[in-house]
A and B are shown apart, each in its own frame.
Chain A
Amino acid sequence: MFESDLFRFAELMDSSFINRLSTSDSFTPEDMKKANLLEQHASTLLEVKTEALHSLSRNMADSTVIEEPTANDSDRMNVWTMVGDELKAIRELQYLIKRLNHCLAKGTTGGDE
């Protein structure tokens, strides 16, 4: 079995569901169930990733040993690339959560009516 949080999140992602999230405004009860589970995992993941990245960048900024890399400094360049990738992933998680919340709100409204 796979153990990391990121894999547990990945198991819930489903391309057809994710595509429906942005193209449709009507969702099945199964969609709602999945949206709810995925929203919980995505929010936890976002919180952990954001906090960790803030801490990491504070440490990097506070330390004079970690300055902006020059072109021939591959070590620093790699770390900065990694931080950049993580920031991109965080932005995509935020977008996903926004769409999931939209889906969940539709379900709540539909149920109340």
Chain B
Amino acid sequence: MKFSTDYMKLAMLLDSGLLERIETVQSNELLKDDMNKAKRIKAILDPMLESRGEWRAPLIRLMNQVVQFSTGIRGAVFTRLLGYRMNEAAHAQNKIDRLTALGMLSSELDFDCDLKKLQGHINSFILEAEKVAASNSILKDMAGGGE
């Protein structure tokens, strides 16, 4: 099964065990596979956050325009052409639509917060893992020198 979206690719790399280890990074618990996974996550995460930043601000601006347009011009057109009842129904539908769309935006913003949090943890995790790897290699060299 091949997924092509960044979101699905990222989801396939994350699991609760790894997330827990990343959040509570402890050098003696780092697994070699975690480091590989962390680097793959970082490779998807960094560009993903950048592209999400690009659409977030314009989307909010456009959503504001939609809200103004829907409540203003469209409301007036419905009132004239279709009468009060239809206008009320259209407003109710508009309101639901807007709330749902805003709900989606809000959920995406929550997701952004989590992604940023993950990015912070991943960066510290990789730094820590590299330190551990470096000290292991020093220890190995010392052991090798003594032989």
Is A55 an interface position by the 8 A CB rule?
yes
One of A16-24, A25-33, A104-112 at the interface: A16-24
Contact yes or no, B66 A59, CB < 8 A: yes
Which listed residue (A18, A55, A88) contacts B97, Cβ 8 A? A55
Contact yes or no, A51 B100, CB < 8 A: yes
Is B7 an interface position by the 8 A CB rule?
yes
Q: How far is the CB of B108 from chain A (nearest CB, A)?
A: 8
Contact yes or no, B16 A62, CB < 8 A: no
Q: How far is the CB of B37 from chain A (nearest CB, A)?
A: 10
Interface size for A (C-beta < 8 A) is 48
How many Å lie between the Cα of A65 and that of B63 in the bound state?
10
How many Å lie between the Cα of A74 and that of B53 in the bound state?
13
Contact yes or no, A76 B58, CB < 8 A: yes
Which listed residue (B4, B19, B69, B97) contacts A11, Cβ 8 A? B19
Contact yes or no, A89 B54, CB < 8 A: no
Interface size for B (C-beta < 8 A) is 45
Interface residues of A in 1-23 (CB under 8 A from B): 1-7, 9-15, 18-19, 21-22
- The digit string for A49-93, where 1 denotes a CB below 8 A from any CB of B, is 101110110111011111000000011101101100100110011
Known contacts A13-B12, A92-B5; A4/B107 CB under 8 A: yes
Known contacts A3-B114, A10-B10; A52/B1 CB under 8 A: no
Chain B contact residues: helix, strand, loop or mixed: helix
Which listed residue (B7, B55, B59, B101) contacts A6, Cβ 8 A? B7
Q: Enumerate chain A residues within 8 angstroms of B28, measured Cβ to Cβ.
A: none
Best-surrounded residue of B58, B59, B117, B118 (most CB of chain A within 10 A): B58
Which listed residue (A13, A48, A55) contacts B14, Cβ 8 A? A13
Q: How far is the CB of B81 from chain A (nearest CB, A)?
A: 15
How many Å lie between the Cα of A48 and that of B107 in the bound state?
10
Contact yes or no, A3 B54, CB < 8 A: no
Contact yes or no, B69 A63, CB < 8 A: yes
Which chain A residue shows the least CB distance to B109? Answer: A4
How many Å lie between the Cα of A2 and that of B19 in the bound state?
9
Q: How far is the CB of A51 from chain B (nearest CB, A)?
A: 6
What are 11 A-B contacts defined by CB distance under 8 Å?
Answer: A13-B12, A13-B15, A52-B104, A56-B100, A63-B66, A66-B65, A79-B59, A79-B62, A81-B55, A85-B7, A96-B1
